[in-house]
Structure 1
Amino acid sequence: MAVHKLVLDDVFDEVLCTLIAIHCSLEDYRLAYLLNKHLGITLIRKPSDLDYDKGKSTYSIFDWEDDKQLITWSFVSNVCKTESFQQINYESLFENQEKITKTTHLIPEYKRVNYFLKIDNEFNLSKEKYIVNSILRIPQIATAYSIDSSQLKSKDNLIFS
């Protein structure tokens, strides 16, 4: 009986995408509006947030599928803050609870980044610079820059589907 071997090296190549980090203190919906206005796109919030660790950390996500150029744009928050109460036992008559705020990040390597704009298409350098410069023209944004997604340790967190 003949043995057939399938070689799938080319099938599972890394997905090419452009990743832009955005430093901004605005809420996600306001920044999505400004990105829509300045980039000429139509980001819409998804009905459900990205859920990691079974609800322990959720990240807001907006996306837009450009049917003309077959490109998907995703705008996602990098920061998740959760509040919990911790019981403190002192030798007293009253129970004390302390509020604890825990911060988690979608991409832990970039803890100071507030948002990421992921474009599921590898643009040439001039188009990528044009997008970053358009984002930098928004007065409320402190800074924005491109990130090489192939160098990230937690790049699996950027798979949104």
Structure 2
Amino acid sequence: MAVHKLILDDVFDDISYSLIAIHCTLEDYRLAYLINKYLKTRLARRSKDLDFDNGQSAYSIFEWEDEKQLTTWSLVSNTCKTESFQQATFESLFENQEKITRITHLIPEYKRVNYFLKIENEFSLSKEKYILDSILEIPQIATAYSVDANDLKSKDNLIFS
């Protein structure tokens, strides 16, 4: 009797998407509004944020599923700031608590990036360039550029479903 062996390693790696890094100081809702305005998209806030480390860090995410183009757009924050209070280590007459702010990144290789725009579809280079140029037209955005997701060590963090 013949034994058949299925190898599925390459099946899951073929999901293609474009990844655009965005540098700006805007709040997430304001950036989503401006992208909707300039690119004619309909990004809307997800009811739940991306949750990592069992609630230790959460990243805001806006999504839009374009059913005409069979494309999913995701705008996700790259930074998460959490504040906690820790009892002071020195003795004092007053109760002292130190406020500690911990900053984590969704993609640690790009710590200076504020947001990532992930577009799940196989675009031609001209379409991706058009999207990038449209994003760069937004006056509040300092810079934006394409990122090769295959070079990322933490590309598993970009799986949002």
Question: TM-score by structure 2 length?
Answer: 0.96
CA contact (8 A) 1:89 1:95 kept: no
SS at match of 1:13: helix
Range moving further from structure 2, 118-127 or 53-62? 118-127
Q: 1:13 and 1:26 mapped to 2: Cα distance?
A: 33
Q: 1:50 and 1:7 mapped to 2: Cα distance?
A: 31
1:129 aligns with 2:141: no
Tell me which residue corresponds to 1:115: 115
Instruction: Report how far residue 91 of structure 1 moved.
Output: 2.5
SS at match of 1:82: strand
CA contact (8 A) 1:136 1:143 kept: yes
CA contact (8 A) 1:45 1:62 kept: yes
Tell me which residue corresponds to 2:44: 44
Post-superposition Cα deviations, 1:106-158, rounded to whole Å, max 9, x if no partner, equal 00000000000000013111111110100000000000000000100000000
Q: 2:9 and 2:80 mapped to 1: Cα distance?
A: 36
Tell me which residue corresponds to 2:65: 65
Tell me which residue corresponds to 1:25: 25
Instruction: Report how far residue 13 of structure 1 moved.
Output: 2.8
Question: Which ranges in structure 2 are unaligned for 5 or more consecutive residues?
Answer: none
Q: Percent identity?
A: 76
1:4 aligns with 2:4: yes
Q: 1:114 and 1:12 mapped to 2: Cα distance?
A: 28
Q: 1:90 and 1:8 mapped to 2: Cα distance?
A: 57
SS at match of 1:69: coil
Q: 1:25 and 1:89 mapped to 2: Cα distance?
A: 35
Tell me which residue corresponds to 2:139: 139
Instruction: Report how far residue 94 of structure 1 moved.
Output: 2.1
Tell me which residue corresponds to 2:13: 13
With over 3 angstroms needed to count, the CA separation of the structure-2 counterparts of 1:7 and 1:103, relative to structure 1, is: closer
SS at match of 1:30: helix
With over 3 angstroms needed to count, the CA separation of the structure-2 counterparts of 1:9 and 1:98, relative to structure 1, is: closer
Question: TM-score by structure 1 length?
Answer: 0.96
Instruction: Report how far residue 92 of structure 1 moved.
Output: 2.2
Q: 1:5 and 1:90 mapped to 2: Cα distance?
A: 64
Range moving further from structure 2, 1-10 or 121-130? 1-10
With over 3 angstroms needed to count, the CA separation of the structure-2 counterparts of 1:47 and 1:128, relative to structure 1, is: same
1:154 aligns with 2:137: no
RMSD over aligned CA atoms reads 1.1
Q: 1:122 and 1:69 mapped to 2: Cα distance?
A: 10
